[in-house]
Amino acid sequence: MTDQAIKTADTSDRAAKKLFIKTYGCQMNVYDSQRMAEAMAVEGYVLTEDQNDADMVLLNTCHIREKAAEKLYSDLGRLKPLKAERPDLKIGVAGCVAQAEGEEITRRMPVVDLVVGPQAYHRLPAMVRGEAPNIVTDFPEEDKFEHLPERRATRRAPAAFLTVQEGCDKFCAFCVVPYTRGAEVSRPVERIMREARDLVARGVREITLLGQNVNGWHGVGEDGREWGFGRLIRALGDIDGMDRIRYTTSHPNDMADDLISAHRDVPQLMPYLHLPVQSGSDRILKAMNRKHTAEQYLRLIDRIRNARPDIMLTSDFIVGFPGETDADHQDTLRLVAEVNFGTAFSFKYSPRPGTPAYDRPEVDSKVADDRLQELQALLTKQQRAAQEGMIGRTLGVLFEKAGRIEGQMVGKSDYLHSVFVEAPNVQIGDLVQVRIIGSARNSLHGELVA
Ligand code: SAH
Ligand code: SF4
Ligand code: F3S
**Closest ligand to Cα 66:** 1
The amino acid present at 279, given as its one-letter code, is S
pLDDT tens profile 119-161: 999 999 999 999 999 999 988 777 787 777 765 667 889 999 9
Separation of CA 169 and ligand 2 centre (Å): 8
Residues 6+ apart with CB under 8 A from 351: 66, 174, 357, 358, 360, 362
Q: In this structure, which amino acid lies at residue 17?
A: K
Which ligand 3 atom lies nearest to the CA of residue 1? 5
Q: Are 144 and 119 in contact (CB under 8 A)?
A: yes
Ligand 1 centroid to Cα of residue 154, in Å, is 34
Q: Among the CATH numbers 3.40.50.12160, 1.25.60.10, 3.40.50.1970, 3.40.50.300, which is that of 4-142?
A: 3.40.50.12160
Give dist(CA 439, CA 447) in Å, integer: 12
Phi, psi of 403 (to 5 degrees): -80, 180
Report the DSSP pairing between strands 394-402 and 408-413: antiparallel
- Alpha carbons within 13 angstroms on the beta-carbon side of residue 132 total 16
Q: What is the pLDDT of residue 152?
A: 62
Average pLDDT over residues 256-282: 98
**Of the ranges 4-8, 15-19, 177-181, which is most confident?**
177-181
C-alpha 56 – ligand 2 centre gap (Å): 32
Phi and psi at 219, nearest 5°, equal 180, 170
Q: How far is the CA of 175 from the centre of ligand 1 (A)?
A: 6
Residue 194 has pLDDT above 90, yes or no: yes
Percentage of the chain exceeding pLDDT 70: 96
**Ligand nearest to the CA of residue 277, numbered in listed order:** 1
**Per-residue confidence band for 450, with pLDDT thresholds at 50, 70 and 90:** confident
Identical fold at 4-142 and 394-448?
A: no
Q: Supply the pLDDT for residue 150.
A: 63
96 appears as a binding residue in the annotation: yes
Residues 223, 263: contact at Cβ < 8 Å? no
| Cβ(63) – ligand 3 distance below 6 Å | yes
| Ligand 3 neighbourhood includes 64 CB (under 6 angstroms) | yes
Region 298-320 average pLDDT: 98
Residue 26, annotated as binding a ligand: yes
| Residues 84-125: tens digit of each pLDDT | 999 999 999 999 999 999 999 999 999 999 999 999 999 999
Considering every ligand atom, which ligand is closest to the CA of 65? Answer: 1
Domains in the chain: boundaries: 4-142, 394-448
Which residue's CA is the closest to the ligand 3 atom numbered 6?
62
CA of 215 to the centre of ligand 2 (A): 13
Are residues 237 and 268 in contact, defined by beta-carbon separation less than 8 angstroms? yes
What pTM, to 2 d.p., does this model score? 0.94
**Residue 298 marked as a ligand binder:** no
How crowded is residue 107: how many other Cβ atoms within 10 Å of its Cβ?
A: 10
Residue 414: its H or E element: none
Q: Residue 289 has what DSSP assignment?
A: T
The predicted pLDDT at position 13 comes to 47
284 is in an annotated binding site: no
Long-range CB pairs of 365-370 (<8 Å, 24+ gap) are 365/320, 367/320, 368/319, 368/320, 368/324
Q: Is the pLDDT of residue 36 over 90?
A: yes
Contact between residue 322 and residue 361 where contact means Cβ atoms under 8 Å apart: yes
Does the Cβ of 69 fall within 6 Å of ligand 3?
A: no
CATH class of 394-448: mainly beta
Contact by Cβ (8 Å): 63, 105: no
Quote the mean pLDDT of the chain.
94
62 Cα–ligand 3 center, Å: 5
Nearest alpha carbon, ligand 1 atom 10: 316
178 Cβ closer than 6 Å to some ligand 2 atom: yes
Q: Which of 28, 179, 251 to mutate to test the pocket of ligand 3 (most atoms within 8 A of CB)?
A: 28
Among 440, 404, 447, 444, which residue's Cα sits nearest to residue 426?
447
Pocket test for ligand 2, best of 171, 288, 292 (most atoms within 8 A of CB): 171
Ligand 2 contacts CB of residue 171 (under 6 A) = yes
Q: What is the pLDDT of residue 151?
A: 58
